A and B are shown apart, each in its own frame.
Chain A
């Protein structure tokens, strides 16, 4: 009984550390921003940091908790970004309250991405491992490809959709084209700022951590560890996999809406598999399954190339070398033994155990 209590405490303790870390980071950054007028580069990085952290936390649900490799996460971000931006541009004049419009477009973008997550989750259930990875990659590329050719306009009689050209929309005289194919959407209101991004990140982390430590989360983790054993005790693999895919896609959609409301012109160029892979790198380097690690890795790895901007062309080269070295060193047996030896928590634990042993 006592032992069980201790374990529960460990999960809660870890969650508290995560929240404390986030809030402390927010306060420090806010103070820096308030006291410095300049530092444009630093300020410009803040919203993208939130966006990529949300992406990493949501991908961690699929890769870390469910144990399925997904290479199409940017596709969901793309859906969220386009749906959110479309709605905001469409109703820019109709809804006077900025925050209300942004909240609605967040919900719409997230839900649409979630629905696509559900659709993609269905075939995924038949596939394993690398086959699943390639299907998610394929879905991401299909979404990008189609959105890139999409034209949507609006006039008095309603919405017009075409995948050929703007003139195929047959708009009335008063109509406007909102989604302009490869040119994307322009004129999205800039509703996002660091505070908004931070609140959204906090919500994502909250949902993610609560999911992981809930009954559903334990069921999902049991599927990851042994699918057949989980099935035999009556866990519905289909149901839980779909739940995780939907939630993950929903938050990727939210990140997308945030992205589209942070830049003036939106196009599909960043929603390719490169972005999906970039987010996967954050999740893996942060420690698979660790929400806190995903955020830390996202922040460091996003900021690293930006900090190295002075080195110009060499920065991505250095980034690549760092990536390879990190993976090799992290998987080196000797280094891991050494790490365990010098680990502080281990040291404290050993002492505590030693004291306990002395008492009894």
Chain B
């Protein structure tokens, strides 16, 4: 039974990674940049909920919606101010700018909310579930995380494959120039990508801090890096890849915590990543790059 319980909580953690990884992979697909500040958007989202629900005492739903709006706006603003001027610059320059944005968000949060860890109250109000004669105990947060993530992933897939703006995103990630010639507004498509990615980060932040209720300015850093790993794991730029990569990473992390060692879980997660990349150098679902001479 303990295996099942590790598995379920692993899937829950993995779903959060997958939500964050989606933001990484969508931005990478379209803007060809590693958005290192993405992890810190999660932290901003979590602080937004904390302020709305705990400081102002409003209901959790308002907090989550408010946090989604704040993060979405923040994502678009970051893109317009920091990344847009660098669209033609080298990828390293953009990477350093993203690191700068990450420092900026962390230190702004440090100034406003101070460095002490805030205890976050869960936004989920679902009773926990006991199965198999109380042998398997599943927390309400775990159920909510899995359900919400599945809904979001289905909705996102439908959005990208069936609607016009979604297909415009696919077209821009395929070939920016050709997409522009077909009448697609590249700038607004890129903004839309950042908007969706950051909104997903806000949801991930709410779910993450509900399951692991400790909030500090560096809360987003480690999940951000893990989700980045998950995105690469699944093949960066591939949306189904990010979902699979995220869930797999969460499951591996939790199983290794349960059966091998809690402290070694990070090393094991990264070790598995390296082994996978040795055999599939562009991730699980990544496109094979053919080099032309």
A residues apposed to B, CB below 8 Å: 63, 69, 123, 126-128, 130-131, 133-135, 137-139, 141-142, 145-146, 148-149, 163, 228, 273, 277, 280-281, 284-285, 288, 313-314, 316-317, 319-321, 323-324, 327-328, 330-332
Residue ID in chain B nearest A137 by CB atoms: B225
Whether B108 lies near A126 (C-beta < 8 A) is no
Taking chain A's interface residues, is the majority helix, strand, or loop, or is none over half, making it mixed? helix
A127 and B270 alpha carbons, distance in the complex (Å): 16
Cβ contact within 8 Å between B267 and A123: no
Interface residue? B101 (CB, 8 A): yes
Is the beta-carbon distance between B107 and A138 smaller than 8 angstroms? no
- Is B86 located at the chain interface by the 8 A CB criterion? yes
Q: How far is the CA of A332 from the CA of B84 in the complex (A)?
A: 11
Dominant SS among interface residues on chain B: helix
Contact A332 B93 (CB under 8 A): no
Number of interface residues of B (CB under 8 A): 45
Q: Which single member of B107, B228, B232 contacts A317 (CB below 8 Å)?
A: B107
With both beta carbons as reference points, the residue of chain A lying nearest to B86 in the complex is identified as: A331
Contact between chains at B104 and A284 (CB < 8 Å): no
B273 interface residue (CB < 8 Å to A): yes
A sample of 10 more A-B contacts (CB under 8 A), given A126-B277, A130-B28, A145-B270, is A133-B34, A135-B273, A137-B225, A139-B274, A163-B264, A284-B95, A313-B111, A317-B111, A323-B103, A331-B93
CB distance from A136 to the nearest CB of B (A): 10
Q: Is B282 engaged at the interface, CB distance under 8 Å to the other chain?
A: yes
Residue in B36, B108, B289 whose beta carbon sits within 8 Å of that of A128 in the complex: B289
Asked if A228 meets B93 with Cβ closer than 8 Å, knowing A134-B273, A141-B266, the reply is no
Q: Quick one: given A130-B34, A141-B270, A284-B93, are A135 and B101 in contact (CB under 8 Å)? A: no
Task: Report the nearest B residue to A134, measured CB to CB.
Answer: B232
Considering only residues 76-135 of chain B, those with a C-beta below 8 Å from chain A are 82, 85-86, 88-89, 92-97, 99-101, 103-104, 106-108, 110-111
- A139 neighbours in B (Cβ, 8 Å): 270, 274
Contact of B92 with A324 in the complex, beta carbons under 8 Å: no
Can you give 27 contacting A-B residue pairs, CB < 8 Å? Answer: A126-B277, A126-B278, A130-B28, A131-B236, A131-B282, A131-B283, A135-B273, A135-B277, A138-B274, A139-B274, A141-B266, A141-B270, A142-B274, A145-B264, A149-B264, A284-B95, A284-B96, A288-B92, A316-B107, A319-B103, A323-B103, A324-B82, A324-B101, A327-B96, A327-B100, A331-B88, A331-B93
Considering only CB atoms, which chain A residue lies closest to B94 in the complex?
A327
A280 to B107 alpha-carbon distance, docked (Å): 20
Q: In angstroms, how far is the closest chain B Cβ from the Cβ of A335? A: 11
A residues near B85, Cβ cutoff 8 Å: 328, 331-332
Decide: B111 and A285 in contact? CB cutoff 8 A: no
A346 to B94 Cα, complex, angstroms: 28
Q: Which residues of A contact B101 (CB under 8 A)?
A: 320, 324
B residues engaging A (CB < 8 A)? 28, 34, 36, 82, 85-86, 88-89, 92-97, 99-101, 103-104, 106-108, 110-111, 225, 228-229, 232, 236, 263-264, 266-267, 270-271, 273-274, 277-278, 281-283, 289, 291, 293
Q: A145-B264, A145-B267 are in contact. Are A323 and B293 (CB under 8 A)?
A: no
Known A134-B228, A323-B99, A328-B85: A141·B267 in contact at CB below 8 Å = yes
Instruction: Specify the chain A residue showing the minimal Cβ separation from B28.
Output: A130
Query: Would B277 and A320 count as touching, CB distance under 8 A?
Result: no
B113 CB, min distance to chain A CBs, angstroms: 12
On whether the beta carbons of A130 and B111 are closer than 8 Å, the reply is no
The CA of A145 and the CA of B264, in the complex, are separated in Å by 7
Give A297 Cβ to nearest chain B Cβ, in Å.
Answer: 11
- CB of A69 within 8 A of CB of B92, answer yes
Give the distance to chain A from B98, nearest Cβ to Cβ, in Å. Answer: 9
B228 touching A145, Cβ below 8 Å: no
- For residue A330, which residue of chain B has the nearest CB? B93
Q: Is the CB of B278 within 8 A of A138?
A: no
Chain A residues positioned under 8 Å from B82 (CB to CB): 324, 328
A131 to B284, CA, bound (A): 12
- State whether B281 touches A127 (Cβ < 8 A): yes
Give the CA-CA distance A202 to B289 in the complex, in Å: 41
Tell which of B104, B270, B274, B293 touches A320, judged by Cβ atoms closer than 8 Å: B104
CA distance A342 to B182 in the complex (A): 42
Bound: A81/B140 CA distance, A: 45
Q: Which of B89, B93, B101 has the most CB of A within 10 A?
A: B93
Kindly provide the distance from the CB of B100 to the nearest chain A CB, expressed in whole angstroms: 4
In the complex the two chains form, what is the Cα distance from A133 to B278 in whole Å?
14
Residues of A within 8 A of B94 (CB): 327
Q: Is B283 within 8 A of A142, CB to CB?
A: no
Which A-chain residue is minimally distant from B34 (CB atoms)?
A130
A156 to chain B, nearest CB (A): 30
Q: Decide: A321 and B104 in contact? CB cutoff 8 A.
A: yes
Chain B residues with CB below 8 A from A69, complex form: 92, 95
A126 and B281 contacting across the interface, CB-CB below 8 Å? yes
Rounded to whole angstroms, the CA-CA distance of A133 and B111 in the bound complex is: 31
A130 to B110, CA, bound (A): 30
A128 to B34 CA separation, bound complex (whole angstroms):
14
Q: Which 10 A-B residue pairs are closest in the complex by CB-CB distance? A: A323-B100, A138-B270, A320-B103, A320-B104, A331-B89, A324-B100, A145-B267, A316-B107, A317-B107, A327-B97
Q: Which residue of B lies closest to A318 (CB)?
A: B107
Query: How far is the CB of B87 from the nearest CB of chain A, in Å?
Result: 9
A134 to chain B, nearest CB (A): 4
Query: Which of B86, B99, B282 is A328 in contact with, Cβ under 8 Å?
Result: B86
Report A-chain residues with C-beta under 8 Å of the C-beta of B104.
317, 320-321, 324
Task: Please give, as numbers and ranges, the residues of chain A lying within 8 Å of B106 by CB-CB distance.
Answer: 316
- Residues on B with C-beta less than 8 A from A163 are 264
Q: Is the Cβ of B277 less than 8 Å from the Cβ of A228?
A: no
